[in-house]
Amino acid sequence: MHKLIRQILKTGIVRHPPSARPEAPPEGCAEGRALVAQLGRAITVRHVDAGSCNGCELEIHALGNALYNLAALGVRFVASPRHADILLVTGPVSRAMADPLRAAWEAMPDPKRVVALGDCARGCGIFTANYATLGAVSAVIPVDIAIPGCPPSPETIREAFAALMARS
Amino acid sequence: MSPIDVARAVRWTRLPGPLPIDHGSVDSAQWRAICAQCRAEGGRLAALWGSDERAAGQGFLVHAIVASAQRRFWITLGAGDADPRFPGLGDLFPVASRLERALFDLLGVSSGAPDTRPWLRHEAWGPADFPLRRDFARADPMAPGAPPYPFVAVRGAGVHEIGVGPIHAGIIEPGHFRFSVVGDEILRLEERFGYTHKGAAKRFEAMGLVDGARLAGRLCADSSAAYAGAYAMAVEALSGCTVPPRALWLRALAWERERIANHLGDLGALCQDGGLAFGHTQFGLLKERWLQTHDRLFGHRYLMDAVIPGGVAYDLDAAACRSLDAECASILETTRRLQDIVDDHAGLQERFLETGRIDEARVRALGGLGLAARASGIACDLRVNTPLPPYDRLQTRIAVRPQGDVAARVGVRFDEIYESLRLIREVLAQLPGGPVRVPCDGHGGLFGVGIVEGWRGEVLVAITRSPSAAAHHVHIHDPSWQNWPLLEHAVLGDLVPDFPLINKSFNLAYSGHDL
Ligand code: SF4
């Protein structure tokens, strides 16, 4: 136990430095403010991988590390779409995930919003529409906010959520 | 004729490139005989796929790459034109069964195996549509109401089924797991994948060979450098292009860094699932800093677009090398300290030990490879068994643990972090000078293959070019094909609540499998 405590003390409290690289603001941020007005200061997010390469997921995981600490913004990931305000979707929507994606969206209570994370989900990634892929989240459900990047850096995602959470 | 004589009768061609592999066109008797001989030698099926060469008058071709201790053979069999079929290999290599189902889904070439259920096909295309045929051009609206997938049912008093997925409770890739349980105990697990199938092979056909590297690095992000590396090797073999030594060493650096990044992330996640949030925080921070270095010096947090046909896209100056070396020293010290804590933590060890066990004999029978096989006592590692430059100069020490449980897979990860740190420091110390890339246009031969020991196991890329036209076909094989069936066995007799931990200890690919 003493080793564990010593390691915690040695690590200290890490803080996220102010963004070094200003990146393009997410599309639809004005829309985001309206959302916060509706939802208040804490939001719950359900993630759906609609055929991503797992890169966008790796960065969602990174958001949970001590540096980005998304939870501190008031953003919480939940297991069921029924508990979610926001559906965070990655991938170009493989056709096999189109129905599960639509079902997750339909299960969410109103008001609800959809965030398309990454270039694939936005419809401008390396995977174009074909026999197996619809090519964009907006081909299946309405998208409110799109976050660019392949994958978007944790800073970009964090800033998009921070913009969402900012007082309008 | 004995199988050995049959194999001798084939005209083998040594393919260009550093990987020792012979290609031969075979008839169906030779096809079976060569595979049977490989099986008898304790070898395994490394990949099985098909291509449509009707435009060149060759009909459909079926390809297999088999590997025994030191040798690899790529065999190609004509499967005919109108009603293409070939002799299946499922009796010799269990992994062939899913590979043959996938081959039928995509190309309509039948192995005649009894299990004719789709594997990659869901409702996106119909049972009589074969998207990898070159004349397939449709992207119809989806056929609604595909019949439900017939899982194998387990009957008996008190047995019930639990279906999980494709969307899971956590932030993971989509797939379906069907458990048959009594109480909490798992009697049977059946996997169902294909949810992330994106038609990548078709997408490759529309891209140039060189440009395809960008796509190869975006099929399975946690192994981006390994995928792009194997792809680059295949293109280089096709083109007969020689990669400068400095680029080879810099590639090894990227692959070892990728291995460490994943092992750190997995150790954090395993601590989390085992109930030690402290470990998740600590390893998460180590991984994050490691990724930031990737971004700074290699151009991308997950090394995307870093490895390209002909070399690498980055170079390191002396200051960068020094900072990488110092980073290794610091991460070694911290990881050692964390391992000490993990090893001493009774609660965590209680969860890890004896959980999700699979023994060596079973792993061998299933043809398992990579990290999971090494954690069941099998000494297989391309870097050791067939060390390609620069590994031929690095004397990689293989990490093997015999127990085959979650604890062993955790242990192998720690061992491999230490060894990869050592390799990185060796690479930095011995890094030769010179250019980091040469032009590599992809013109030249008809067959090219590349293999990289990625962090999960061997990632294989095979490219065939049609003799007639500029058309090419890219096939990528992820080690998860071999290792997903291991998970089905490892969970037997364990409790459903332990499944996430066991699954995480394998951490197999979905997108990389569903290609
Ligand atoms: S945007 Fe990039 S990282 Fe995200 S799923 Fe697509 S290819 Fe992968």
Q: Which residue range is the domain that position B91 belongs to?
A: 3-107
With a 6 Å cutoff on the Cβ, whether A118 touches ligand 1 is: yes
Interface test with B, best of A83, A95, A158 (most B CBs within 10 A): A95
Q: How far apart are CA B437 and CA B451, in angstroms?
A: 19
Closest residue to A104, CB basis, from B129, B167, B278: B167
In sequence order, the 6+-apart residues with CB closer than 8 A to the CB of A5 are: none
Distance from C-alpha of B408 to C-alpha of B416, rounded to nearest angstrom? 12
* Final residue before a domain boundary, out of B70, B89, B107: B107
pLDDT at position A21 is 47
Q: How is residue B467 written in tokens?
A: 């003799």
Q: What are phi and psi of A90, to 5 degrees?
A: -115, 160
**Sheet hosting strand A86-90, strand order edge to edge:** A75-77, A43-49, A86-90, A113-117, A145-147
Contact of B119 with B101, CB cutoff 8 Å: yes
Q: How many CB atoms lie within 10 A of CB B117?
A: 12
Q: Please report the sign of the dihedral spanned by the C-alpha atoms of residue A108, residue A139, residue B478, residue B228.
A: negative
Last residue of a domain, one of B107, B139, B158: B107
Tell me, yes or no, whether B135 lies in a domain: no
d(CA B409, CA B411): 5
Is B142 close to A95, i.e. CB distance below 8 A? yes
In a domain, B174, yes or no: no
Q: Measured between CB atoms, does A42 come within 8 Å of chain B? A: no
Which one, of B49, B19, B52, B47, lies nearest residue B465 by Cα? B52
Cross-chain Cβ contact A151/B302 below 8 Å: yes
What the block records as the tokens of B87 is 């002799």
DSSP assignment of B409-434? HHHHHHHHHHHHHHHHHHHHHH---S
pLDDT along chain A (168 residues), means of 10: 83 68 52 58 91 97 92 89 94 95 95 94 94 95 95 94 68
B contact test, residue of A9, A21, A65 with most B CBs within 10 A? A65
Per-residue tokens: B455: 């962090």
Residue B221 lies in a domain: yes
Look up residue A157 and give its two tokens. Answer: 């995602």
Question: Separation of B475 CA from ligand 1 center, angstroms?
Answer: 20
Q: Could you give the ipTM of this predicted complex?
A: 0.94
Judging contacts by C-beta atoms under 8 Å, the chain B residues touching residue A65 are: 281, 284-285, 287-288
A134-159 burial, b at 16+ Cβ within 10 Å, e below that, comes to: bbbbbebbebbbbbbbbbbbbbbbbb
Decide if B301 and A95 are in contact by the 8 Å CB cutoff. no
Query: Which stretches within B318-476 are classed as H helix?
Result: 318-344, 346-352, 360-366, 370-374, 382-385, 406-430
Backbone angle region of A109, left / alpha / beta, with phi > 0 → left and psi within -120 to 50 → alpha: beta
Asked if the bond preceding B166 is cis, omega within 30° of 0, the reply is yes
Residues 6+ apart with CB under 8 A from B217: B224, B225, B227, B228, B231, B303, B304, B305, B306, B307
Query: A148 alpha carbon to ligand 1 midpoint, in Å?
Result: 10
pLDDT of residue A168: 36
Domain count, chain B: 2
Taking CA atoms only, the protein residue closest to ligand 1 atom 5 is A52
Shared domain for B272 and B390, answered yes or no, is: yes
B316 and B447 share a domain? yes
Return the domain boundaries, chain A. Answer: 25-165
Task: Give the residue on A whose Cα is nearest the Cα of B194.
Answer: A96
**Ligand 1 centre and the CA of A51: distance in Å?**
9
Q: Is residue B180, in this structure, part of any structural domain at all?
A: no
Contact between A63 and A149 under an 8 Å Cβ cutoff? The reply is no
**Rounded distance, CA B159 to CA B152, Å?**
13
Q: How far apart are the first and last CA of chain B?
A: 38
Q: What is the CATH number of the domain that holds B414?
A: 1.10.645.10
Rg (alpha carbons) of chain B, rounded to whole number: 23
Q: How far apart are CA B358 and CA A66, in angstroms?
A: 35
Cβ of B285 and A11 within 8 Å? yes
Amino acid at B162: I
Q: Give 10-residue mean pLDDT values along chain B (515 residues).
A: 70 93 95 94 95 92 91 95 96 97 97 94 90 82 72 90 89 94 94 96 92 97 98 94 97 98 98 95 97 97 98 97 98 97 95 97 96 97 95 96 98 98 98 96 86 98 83 95 97 95 97 95
Flag whether B198 is in a domain: no
Whether the CB-CB separation of A101 and A50 falls below 8 Å is answered with: yes
How far is Cα B498 from Cα B494, in angstroms, rounded to an integer?
Answer: 7
Q: Would you call the peptide bond into B500 cis, given omega within 30 degrees of 0 as the criterion? A: no
Size of interface A-B (CB pairs under 8 A): 157
Which atom of ligand 1 has the smallest separation from the CA of A151?
3
Measured from the Cα of A149, ligand 1's closest atom is 1
**Are B482 and B351 contained in the same domain?**
yes
Nearest to A67 among B131, B199, B285 (CB): B285
Q: CATH assignment of A25-165, given 3.40.50.300, 3.90.1150.10, 3.30.365.10, 3.40.50.12280?
A: 3.40.50.12280
CATH number for the domain that contains residue B43: 3.30.460.80
**CB pair distance less than 8 Å for A96 and B166:** yes
Whether the predicted model's global pTM rises above the 0.90 cut: yes
Closest by CA to B120, choosing from B198, B204, B217, B221, is B198
By C-alpha distance, the chain B residue nearest A3 is: B341
